[in-house]
Chain A
Amino acid sequence: MVHQLLLVSSIPHSKYVQTISTLQAMTRLLSPQPISTYTLVTKPSYVFKPKFEPGKVNQIEQYYMKCTTTWESGVDLDLAIPLIADDETSSVFVERLFSGNEEVERTWTLQISDIPIAGKQVCSNQTIYESTLIHAHARIEDSEIKKPSDIADGDAMEIDDKVEEPNKEVKTDSNGASEESSTSIVKSHSSDVSNDPDLTGRKDSFLLLLESLGYGVVNQYWLKGVRFFQGDIVIEIFKIFIRDDNVSSTDANNNKIKLKLLDESNTFQIKAYINIPKSTDIEQISQGSKDLLKLQDLLKNLFKLEIPDRMFMDSRVTLKKAT
């Protein structure tokens, strides 16, 4: 459980170099830590219909969950170079995950956060829960292994296609009607790439686990940035990439996914936060808030750190969305 104090800001691309230099001088950190992650945004695939009992308030919520792993090839990406949509030379490609080509098993961190505390605050106060998976495994019956080869290529892409049309995928699940058949569909995604059926079970067991847990992927993003440390405060400057579906046939590369910026204006997002291990540690929380305010004042001429709107950080699934 993490209690996070947070302030946010953004800067145009043209201010990146200046901002980095200033933060380098301020934090005396000449080479900031690179951050590079790949995240699946998931939400429960079941409809939650709690029994309505008069006088009893339903406290149980459904939450979106982030599943984050490292994006190794993103480390080499130079953020000082802007990404221009139509410029082929600056295109960013990533290796497909879940393709069964990886040597080492991926580590995934599952994260669910509460909506930040309401009321007048000097910074965002939020509780974050996370747990990290270092290994996944699944039972695969013989009958299922043989299935994938029969499935046509178009259907058997991998997670990324599934992500594009989450609704369609849900339907596929429902047509299958039973747990088992939907499982086999997921499995087919990777087995198509890896011809050795023996490897199938191991490679995409994370997705199977996620599905068994009751979650389905709704979107994905890649995050790339740098990180500075000032006392307990972490300052992150980053950009978010999403899958670019406008891939011309010339640069279509079977094993790579083309990326584009979520924010095509090349704007950088900034987060300044302090993570406190216990939300009961009032002393540390108030000290942390003070430190953040000090930083806000110190940097006010560089960028304006502001309190994010808690409503935008709500990871509860509203009933309307579930239907």
Chain B
Amino acid sequence: MSQSPIASRKKNSPPSQTTDTSQIPVDSLETIRNKLNQVHLSLRKLSDQINLHNRHPNKVKLPSYAHFQNQFQVLITQLHSIATNISNNDELLQNTNVYPTPLFPTTQQEALLTTLLRKKALPEVDEWTESAIKTRDLMSSNGTNNLQKEDEFAEWSFAKVKELRDSFQFYGFHTVEELTYLETDEGKREAHLKKDAESKKDDIELSITAGGKKGLNPNQVLKFMYQGEL
């Protein structure tokens, strides 16, 4: 992020005239710097696209929803990797102090030096941090944010339904109430009537078809019509 040479040294290491750079965790810092650079680029590209549309709404179209979604995915991955990097170098970064070497032209580059050595976050950054923490607290107090809890609940529900189902047995198409009704006299009568109606219907059909006779084939009927015999 910063192009200026940075010297770092462990607190307990004795100061020496010659800058000992071997103690500096260059690798870790370089990785973090690269990652940050990537995120920076991605964000700038996205903001350029949006701004360009805002300036020339007719000429340039807003990137599609799918495009945003992709960019967002990329950003998340990048941020996630930074976060991992930082947390991996947690101890190192905690114990690292930054100071200028005697070779640094302190007086000429005073403005730059103060910027580089600044530790306090910008007020707007503080605001973001604060609001993010607040939102997180709010959500967790509502219980909506706890994905793990939700998963647990779903699993519990499923198990419970299974358990409930296992405690019943299913046969036929009647409820227990209906079955007990059928056992009563009234129910029996009703069932009898139904059966009667059904068999009556069958009887009628049977008598219509003269005892379930199969109808004559059209060809046989034609033969009768042509020659007077079946």
Contact with A along B51-86 (1 / 0, CB 8 A): 000000000000000000000000000000000000
Q: Which residues of A contact B213 (CB under 8 A)?
A: 264-265
Smallest CB gap from A42: residue in B: B228
Q: Which residues of A contact B216 (CB under 8 A)?
A: 10, 262-263, 265, 267, 269
Q: Which residues of B contact A240 (CB under 8 A)?
A: 221, 224-225
Bound together, the chains give a CA A192 to CA B214 distance in angstroms of 42
Bound together, the chains give a CA A12 to CA B210 distance in angstroms of 12
Q: Which residues of B contact A219 (CB under 8 A)?
A: 224, 228-229
Bound together, the chains give a CA A93 to CA B225 distance in angstroms of 21
Query: For the complex, is B160 an interface residue (Cβ under 8 Å from A)?
Result: no
Q: Which residues of B contact A206 (CB under 8 A)?
A: none
Q: B209 to A308, Cβ gap below 8 A?
A: no
Stretch in A136-144, A183-191, A278-286, A310-318 with 4+ CB within 8 Å of B: A310-318
Interface residues in A70-84 by Cβ distance below 8 A to B read 82, 84
Smallest CB gap from B224: residue in A: A262
Smallest CB gap from A40: residue in B: B228
Q: A41 to B218, Cβ gap below 8 A?
A: no
Bound together, the chains give a CA A305 to CA B118 distance in angstroms of 96
Given A13-B209, A312-B223, A313-B222, do A265 and B228 touch, yes or no (CB 8 Å)? no
Q: Which residues of A contact B214 (CB under 8 A)?
A: 265
Q: A263 to B218, Cβ gap below 8 A?
A: no
Bound together, the chains give a CA A8 to CA B220 distance in angstroms of 11
Bound together, the chains give a CA A300 to CA B184 distance in angstroms of 48
Smallest CB gap from A309: residue in B: B219
Query: For the complex, is B147 an interface residue (Cβ under 8 Å from A)?
Result: no
Query: For the complex, is A39 an interface residue (Cβ under 8 Å from B)?
Result: yes
Smallest CB gap from B223: residue in A: A312
Query: For the complex, is A66 an interface residue (Cβ under 8 Å from B)?
Result: yes
Query: For the complex, is A170 an interface residue (Cβ under 8 Å from B)?
Result: no
Q: Which residues of A contact B227 (CB under 8 A)?
A: 41, 43, 64, 218, 314-315
| Chain B: interface residue total (CB-CB under 8 A) | 23
Q: A263 to B221, Cβ gap below 8 A?
A: yes
Query: For the complex, is B168 an interface residue (Cβ under 8 Å from A)?
Result: no
Q: Which residues of B contact A315 (CB under 8 A)?
A: 226-227
Q: B219 to A308, Cβ gap below 8 A?
A: yes
Bound together, the chains give a CA A269 to CA B221 distance in angstroms of 8
Query: For the complex, is A229 an interface residue (Cβ under 8 Å from B)?
Result: no
Query: For the complex, is B38 an interface residue (Cβ under 8 Å from A)?
Result: no
- Distance in angstroms from A258 CB to nearest chain B CB is 16
In-complex Cβ contact of A14 among B205, B221, B230 (8 A): B205
Query: For the complex, is B169 an interface residue (Cβ under 8 Å from A)?
Result: no
Contact with A along B189-230 (1 / 0, CB 8 A): 000000000000000010111100111111111111111111
Bound together, the chains give a CA A240 to CA B216 distance in angstroms of 11
Bound together, the chains give a CA A255 to CA B217 distance in angstroms of 33
Q: B215 to A10, Cβ gap below 8 A?
A: yes
- Distance in angstroms from B4 CB to nearest chain A CB is 88
Query: For the complex, is A173 an interface residue (Cβ under 8 Å from B)?
Result: no
- Distance in angstroms from B24 CB to nearest chain A CB is 87
Of B216, B223, B225, most buried by chain A (CB within 10 Å of CB) is: B225
- Distance in angstroms from A152 CB to nearest chain B CB is 28
Q: Which residues of A contact B220 (CB under 8 A)?
A: 312
- Distance in angstroms from A246 CB to nearest chain B CB is 14
Q: Which residues of A contact B207 (CB under 8 A)?
A: 82, 84, 87
Given A12-B209, A267-B215, do A262 and B221 touch, yes or no (CB 8 Å)? yes
Q: A221 to B224, Cβ gap below 8 A?
A: yes
Given A265-B216, A306-B218, A309-B219, do A13 and B225 touch, yes or no (CB 8 Å)? no
Q: B208 to A313, Cβ gap below 8 A?
A: no
- Distance in angstroms from A245 CB to nearest chain B CB is 15
Q: A41 to B228, Cβ gap below 8 A?
A: yes
Q: Which residues of B contact A14 (CB under 8 A)?
A: 205, 208
Interface residues in A271-323 by Cβ distance below 8 A to B read 306, 308-309, 312-315
Contact with B along A4-28 (1 / 0, CB 8 A): 0000111011100000000000000
Bound together, the chains give a CA A133 to CA B215 distance in angstroms of 35
Q: A82 to B208, Cβ gap below 8 A?
A: yes
Q: Which residues of B contact A265 (CB under 8 A)?
A: 208-210, 213-216
Bound together, the chains give a CA A39 to CA B227 distance in angstroms of 12
Q: B225 to A221, Cβ gap below 8 A?
A: yes
List the 3 closest A-B pairs by CB distance, nearest first.
A267-B215, A219-B228, A41-B228
- The chain A residues found within 8 Å of chain B, CB to CB, are 8-10, 12-14, 39, 41, 43, 64, 66, 82, 84-85, 87, 113, 218-221, 240, 262-267, 269-270, 306, 308-309, 312-315
Please list 23 pairs of residues, one from A and one from B, whose beta carbons are closer than 8 Å in the complex, sorted by A's number. A12-B215, A13-B209, A64-B226, A64-B227, A64-B228, A66-B225, A66-B226, A82-B208, A218-B227, A218-B229, A219-B229, A221-B224, A240-B221, A240-B224, A263-B215, A265-B213, A265-B215, A265-B216, A266-B210, A267-B216, A269-B221, A306-B218, A308-B219
